[in-house]
A = this chain, B = another copy of it.
């Protein structure tokens, strides 16, 4: 029950749904690029990314000081159905604005 509710409550926020849609569209992105693209302050973004990660939707790959977040694969049935539902919403997303200079990081 706890895990189910953690999964569901991760979905229960407009900001997080948009984040999932954006990462679904653009693949692995570091926090600062999400910040510049979505116009969110860093602590807010970091919080929501953690909730999505704990909810089983995202993975993080660290490279130096950067943290790359992306949709976790494979997703289980329920989570991938949720993602499919989010795709169907046709959410309007802002363009990707990359500000990171990632040097050797090849993610």
Which A positions have Cβ atoms within 8 angstroms of B? 1, 4-5, 8-9, 11-14, 17, 77-78, 81-82, 84-86, 89, 91
Contacts and interface: CB of A to CB of B under 8 A. Distances in A.
Nearest to A90: B1
Q: Could you tell me the dominant secondary structure of chain A's interface residues?
A: helix
A12 B14 contact: no
23 contacts: A1-B14, A1-B17, A1-B89, A1-B91, A4-B17, A4-B85, A4-B86, A4-B89, A5-B12, A5-B14, A5-B17, A8-B8, A8-B12, A9-B12, A12-B12, A77-B81, A77-B84, A77-B85, A78-B81, A78-B82, A78-B84, A78-B85, A81-B81
Nearest to A92: B1
A82 B8 CA distance: 9
A51 to B, nearest CB: 12
